[in-house]
C-alpha cells in the first residue's frame, strides 16, 4: 500500500490557485459536445473524472483537442444526439460522467454499454433510469437492478408531458435528465418526487444550460420545464471556475492553522454551491474575506474554532471538511442532513466515523448525521481513504493539529485534484527538524542539546534509544543478536526522557546507558532492521512545535527525511578518544586511552560499513570538523548556519 506521511505542521498561510471545478468541467464538456458550434473551454480541470468524460466523448464521435500552449480545450459540438450509435464506455468512479451520459445516450437512439469501477456499480442509478423509461427509453441493468453497469438499446422516445424523478438520493439524476431533454426538441416538464437534496448543484446545471442557450423554467425546486424547439448553442468561450469544494481544504487550513490562506479561482460571484462553505466556516468563528474571484480565511480571533450544529444538505461535499475541522473545535459538533454521503465515492458517513476515531475523536454515527467530539490531543494515525479523494484531502488537515498523519493511497486525490498534496505543502509550515549526525564522540550530542536549548526546541538523543534497548536486553537476558525479541523489547520500551534525565521504568539510567558495555551493545542492536522500525514512531513523536533538534544516524534520512537542516559533525580519532576519556573520568569511571582509541576505530568501521543506516554524511548535510573547535564554537557555527 502506498502512503504519504505528513509531518506535524506549525501553521498554514499563503495563496493558491484552485484547479477547475469538477462539476462545471464535466457539465461543460457534455453540453459543448451536444451543442451546435465549437466551444473553447478555459481552465478545464485536469483529473481522472474529467479524463473519463473526455474518453467517453471521443468514443461517441465527438472531436476535441487540447491546445498545448494555452491548455484550452476546443470541443467541436455535434449539434444533437451523439453520432456514433454504438459504444462501450468505462467511466471509472465518475458520477458526473456516468449519470449525465446515461441520460444523453438513452435519448440518442443507439446501443451503448456503460460500466465503471466496482464502487460505481454500488452507487444507485435506478431513479434516473425510472425517469428515462417514462419517455420510452430502453435502459437495462447488466448487474443488480437499480445499479450500473447499464445496457442502453435504441428506442422510440416519446417526450413531452411530465417526467417524475426522485430528488432525495442524488441531485445528479435531475441534472442528468435536464441536460439530456433538449435532445428531444419537445417541451417536457420534470417533476421532483421527494425533497430535492443538494439544490445548489441544480443551480449549476441550470446556469450552464442557459449559457448554452436553453433556459429552463423553474417552479420552486419542484418543477422544471425544458422548452421545446431549442437546441444547445455554443457560447463560444467558457471559463471554468475554480473548484469550490477543493477550496474548502485550504480555507479550513487557514481557519485552523492561523492563516491567512487565500484561494484564487472562486469568489463572491461563484455559481457553485460549495462557495457557501465559507459561510459555514464563518459560523465557526473563522475570519473570512471574499472578493469577486478569491476567498481568504484566517483563524478566529480567539484562536479556536467554535463547536457547531449545522444542516449541511446544501454543501454535501465541502461538509466533509467540516467533519475534520470539528477536531479543532471547542466542543462537540453536529453535522445534520448528510444522508447523501452514503452513496458517494464510499459510504462517507461510515468512513469518516472510523477514521476520525483513529485520531482520537469520539464519534456518533447516525443514518444521516455525525456528531464529532474532539479529543484533548490528536493521536498520530494511518488514515485509510477508501478510494475517496475527499477522505484523503480532508485528513491532511490533521497535520495542522501538530500531529503527524499518514495518508494511505494518497493518489486517490487524482479524481479531482492530482496535485493536492504539493499545493497543501505550499501553504503549510512543517515543524522544523534539525538533524545532527556524526561518529561517536564527535561532540554531536552535546552540540545538538545546546542548539536545542538555544532555540527552545525539543531534543531527541536517538542514540540513547538504542542504548536503552541494549540495556533492557542485558537486564532481561535477551541476547544481543536475537532480532525479534530485541524488536519486541524496543516497541514496548518503558522509556521516558525528562528534563535531561533518562528513565527506564522507575530507574534513572542516564549514567548506566553511557558505559562502554552499553555503547557496544547499542552499536550491535542498532544493526537490526526490526529494532530500527520498532523505534521509528517513538522518535517521530519528539517532533513538536516550535521545533526539534534530532541527534543520530538516520535522523536526516529515514526518521525525518524532510529535516530542514542537516549537519554532520566529525573530529579526528585521537581528538574524539581524548574527549571520551575526559567524559569517563568526570563520571568517575575508569578508562584507558589506548583501548578507547581502538574501540572508536573499530566502532567507526562497523558503523560505516553496516548495511542498515551506515554512518555517512548525507549529500545535503553541512560538514563540521570539530577537531580544533570548542563546543561553544561548534554551537555558534550551527546556530549561525540556521539563521543565515
Cell reading at 558: 529515514
Least distance to ligand DC, CB of residue 640, Å: 24
Cα–Cα–Cα angle for 609, 615, 616, rounded to 5 degrees: 105
Least distance to ligand DC, CB of residue 476, Å: 19
Least distance to ligand DC, CB of residue 8, Å: 20
Among candidate residues 214, 232, 233, 234, the one with its CA nearest the CA of residue 224: 214
Q: Is 226 helix (H, G, I), strand (E, B) or coil?
A: strand
- Site residues for ligand DC, 127-166, by CB under 6 A, read none
Question: What span, in angstroms and rounded, lies between the C-alpha atoms of 14 and 296?
Answer: 10
- Verify cis geometry, omega within 30 degrees of 0, for the bond prior to 260: yes
Strands 9-17 and 428-430: antiparallel
Task: Using the CB atoms, write b or e for 52-80: b if 16+ within 10 Å.
Answer: bbbebbebbebebeeeeeeebbebbbbee
Question: What span, in angstroms and rounded, lies between the C-alpha atoms of 98 and 116?
Answer: 8
Least distance to ligand DC, CB of residue 597, Å: 16
Using the rule CB under 6 A, is 99 a contact of ligand DC? Answer: no
Using the rule CB under 6 A, is 340 a contact of ligand DC? Answer: no
Other Cβ atoms closer than 10 A to 313:
19
Least distance to ligand DC, CB of residue 443, Å: 11
In the bound state with ligand DC, the residue whose beta carbon lies nearer, of 466 and 567, is 466
DSSP string covering 565-614, please? Answer: EEEEEE--HHHHHHHHHHHHHHTT----HHHHHHHHHHHHHHHHH-SSS-
Using the rule CB under 6 A, is 480 a contact of ligand DC? Answer: no
- Site residues for ligand DC, 522-541, by CB under 6 A, read 522-523, 526
Question: What span, in angstroms and rounded, lies between the C-alpha atoms of 25 and 21?
Answer: 6
Cell reading at 360: 482520537
- Site residues for ligand DC, 186-205, by CB under 6 A, read none
In the bound state with ligand DC, the residue whose beta carbon lies nearer, of 350 and 449, is 449
In the bound state with ligand DC, the residue whose beta carbon lies nearer, of 211 and 553, is 553
- Mark 542-561 with x for binding to ligand DC (rule: CB under 6 A) and - for no binding: ----------xxxx------
- Mark 425-444 with x for binding to ligand DC (rule: CB under 6 A) and - for no binding: ---------------x----
Q: Please report how many Cα atoms fall inside a 13 Å half-sphere around the Cα of residue 411, on the Cβ side.
A: 3
In the bound state with ligand DC, the residue whose beta carbon lies nearer, of 137 and 635, is 635
Using the rule CB under 6 A, is 47 a contact of ligand DC? Answer: no
In the bound state with ligand DC, the residue whose beta carbon lies nearer, of 43 and 461, is 461
Near ligand DC by CB under 6 A, which window of 177-185, 310-318, 456-464, 593-601? 456-464
Q: Is 528 helix (H, G, I), strand (E, B) or coil?
A: coil
Question: What span, in angstroms and rounded, lies between the C-alpha atoms of 252 and 259?
Answer: 9
Among candidate residues 94, 83, 80, 85, the one with its CA nearest the CA of residue 31: 80
Q: What residue number has its CB nearest to ligand DC?
A: 463
Least distance to ligand DC, CB of residue 463, Å: 2
Least distance to ligand DC, CB of residue 453, Å: 18
Among candidate residues 273, 277, 269, 275, the one with its CA nearest the CA of residue 252: 277
Residues facing residue 164 across a β-bridge: 191
In the bound state with ligand DC, the residue whose beta carbon lies nearer, of 454 and 520, is 520
In the bound state with ligand DC, the residue whose beta carbon lies nearer, of 405 and 468, is 468
DSSP state of 302: T
Give the CA distances from residue 290 to residues 243, 416, 427, in Å, rounded to whole numbers and listed in that order. 15, 24, 19
Near ligand DC by CB under 6 A, which window of 27-35, 109-117, 460-468, 592-600? 460-468
Least distance to ligand DC, CB of residue 446, Å: 11
DSSP state of 264: E
In the bound state with ligand DC, the residue whose beta carbon lies nearer, of 52 and 576, is 576
Question: What span, in angstroms and rounded, lies between the C-alpha atoms of 50 and 68?
Answer: 17
Question: What span, in angstroms and rounded, lies between the C-alpha atoms of 94 and 113?
Answer: 15
Please report how the helices 95-106 and 22-34 are oriented relative to each other, as an axis angle in degrees rounded to 10: 20
Residues facing residue 279 across a β-bridge: none
Question: What span, in angstroms and rounded, lies between the C-alpha atoms of 461 and 443?
Answer: 12
In the bound state with ligand DC, the residue whose beta carbon lies nearer, of 314 and 444, is 444
Place of cell 471554468: 240
Least distance to ligand DC, CB of residue 403, Å: 22
Question: What span, in angstroms and rounded, lies between the C-alpha atoms of 563 and 549?
Answer: 9
Q: Looking at 43, 243, 274, 317, which residue is catalytic?
A: 317
Using the rule CB under 6 A, is 607 a contact of ligand DC? Answer: yes
In the bound state with ligand DC, the residue whose beta carbon lies nearer, of 211 and 524, is 524
Least distance to ligand DC, CB of residue 511, Å: 13
Pure H helices in 94-240: 95-106, 126-133, 172-180, 199-211
In the bound state with ligand DC, the residue whose beta carbon lies nearer, of 374 and 552, is 552
Please count the residues of this chain forming the interface with ligand DC, following the rule CB under 6 A: 15
Q: Is 219 a catalytic residue?
A: no
Least distance to ligand DC, CB of residue 539, Å: 8
Q: Which residues bind ligand DC (CB under 6 A)?
A: 440, 462-464, 466-467, 522-523, 526, 552-555, 607, 613
Residues involved in catalysis? 317
Amino acid at each position: 500500500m502506498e502512503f504519504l506521511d505528513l509531518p506535524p505542521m506549525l501553521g498554514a498561510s499563503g495563496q493558491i490557485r484552485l484547479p477547475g471545478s469538477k462539476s462545471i468541467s464535466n457539465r461543460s464538456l457534455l453540453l459543448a459536445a451536444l451543442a451546435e458550434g465549437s466551444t473553447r473551454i478555459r481552465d478545464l480541470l485536469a483529473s481522472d473524472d474529467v479524463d473519463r468524460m473526455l474518453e467517453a466523448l471521443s468514443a461517441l464521435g465527438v472531436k476535441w483537442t487540447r491546445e498545448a500552449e494555452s491548455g484550452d480545450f476546443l470541443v467541436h459540438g455535434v449539434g444533437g444526439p451523439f453520432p456514433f450509435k454504438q459504444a462501450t464506455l468505462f467511466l471509472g468512479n465518475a458520477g458526473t460522467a456516468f449519470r449525465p451520459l446515461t441520460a444523453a445516450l438513452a435519448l440518442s437512439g443507439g446501443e451503448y454499454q456503460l460500466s465503471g469501477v466496482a464502487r460505481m456499480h454500488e452507487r444507485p442509478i435506478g431513479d434516473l433510469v425510472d425517469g428515462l423509461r417514462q419517455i420510452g427509453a430502453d435502459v437495462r441493468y447488466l448487474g443488480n437492478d437499480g445499479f450500473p453497469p447499464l445496457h442502453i438499446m435504441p428506442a422510440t422516445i416519446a417526450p413531452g408531458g411530465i417526467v417524475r424523478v426522485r430528488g432525495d438520493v442524488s441531485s445528479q439524476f435531475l441534472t442528468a435528465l435536464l441536460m439530456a431533454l433538449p435532445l428531444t426538441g419537445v417541451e417536457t416538464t420534470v417533476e421532483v418526487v421527494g425533497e430535492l437534496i443538494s439544490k445548489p448543484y441544480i443551480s449549476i446545471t441550470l446556469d450552464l444550460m442557459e449559457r448554452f442557450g436553453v433556459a429552463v423554467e423553474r417552479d420552486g425546486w419542484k418543477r422544471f420545464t425544458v422548452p421545446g424547439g431549442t437546441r444547445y448553442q455554443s457560447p463560444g468561450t467558457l471559463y471554468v471556475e475554480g473548484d469550490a469544494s477543493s477550496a474548502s481544504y485550504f480555507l479550513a487550513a487557514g481557519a485552523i492553522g492561523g492563516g491567512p490562506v487565500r484561494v484564487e479561482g472562486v469568489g463572491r460571484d461563484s455559481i457553485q454551491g460549495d462557495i457557501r462553505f465559507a459561510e459555514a466556516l464563518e459560523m465557526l468563528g473563522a475570519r473570512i474575506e471574499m472578493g469577486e474571484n478569491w476567498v481568504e480565511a484566517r483563524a478566529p480571533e480567539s484562536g479556536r474554532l467554535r463547536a457547531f450544529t449545522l444542516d449541511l444538505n446544501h454543501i454535501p461535499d465541502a461538509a466533509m471538511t467540516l467533519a475534520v475541522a470539528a477536531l479543532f473545535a471547542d466542543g462537540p459538533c453536529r453535522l445534520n442532513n448528510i444522508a447523501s454521503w452514503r452513496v458517494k465515492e464510499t459510504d462517507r458517513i461510515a468512513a469518516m466515523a472510523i477514521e476520525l476515531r483513529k485520531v482520537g475523536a469520539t464519534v456518533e454515527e447516525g443514518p444521516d448525521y455525525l456528531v464529532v467530539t474532539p479529543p484533548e490531543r490528536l493521536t498520530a494515525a494511518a488514515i485509510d481513504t477508501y478510494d475517496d479523494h475527499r477522505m484523503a484531502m480532508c485528513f491532511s488537515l490533521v497535520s495542522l493539529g501538530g500531529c503527524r498523519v499518514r495518508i494511505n493511497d494518497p493518489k486517490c486525490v487524482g479524481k479531482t485534484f492530482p496535485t493536492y498534496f504539493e499545493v497543501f505543502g505550499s501553504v503549510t509550515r512543517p515543524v522544523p527538524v534539525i538533524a545532527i549526525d556524526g561518529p561517536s564522540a564527535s561532540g554531536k550530542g552535546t552540540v545538538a542539546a545546546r542548539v536545542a536549548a538555544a532555540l527552545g526546541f525539543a531534543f531527541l538523543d536517538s542514540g540513547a534509544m538504542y542504548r536503552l534497548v541494549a540495556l533492557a536486553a542485558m537486564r532481561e537476558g535477551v541476547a544481543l543478536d536475537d532480532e525479534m525479541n530485541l524488536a519486541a523489547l524496543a516497541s514496548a520500551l518503558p522509556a521516558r526522557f525528562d528534563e535531561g534525565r533518562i528513565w527506564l521504568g522507575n530507574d534513572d539510567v542516564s549514567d548506566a546507558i553511557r558505559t562502554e558495555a552499553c555503547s557496544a551493545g547499542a552499536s550491535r542492536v542498532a544493526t537490526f532492521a526490526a529494532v530500527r522500525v520498532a523505534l521509528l514512531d517513538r522518535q517521530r513523536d519528539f517532533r513538536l512545535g516550535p521545533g526539534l533538534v534530532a541527534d543520530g544516524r538516520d535522523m536526516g534520512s529515514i526518521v525525518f527525511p524532510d529535516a530542514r537542516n542537516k549537519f554532520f559533525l566529525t573530529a579526528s580519532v585521537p581528538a574524539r578518544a581524548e574527549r571520551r576519556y575526559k567524559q569517563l573520568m568526570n563520571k568517575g569511571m575508569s578508562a584507558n586511552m589506548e583501548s578507547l582509541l581502538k574501540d572508536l576505530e573499530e566502532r567507526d568501521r562497523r558503523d560505516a560499513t553496516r548495511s542498515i543506516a551506515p554512518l555517512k554524511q548525507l549529500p545535503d548535510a553541512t560538514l563540521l570538523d570539530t577537531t580544533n573547535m570548542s563546543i561553544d564554537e561548534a554551537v555558534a557555527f550551527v546556530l549561525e548556519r540556521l539563521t543565515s
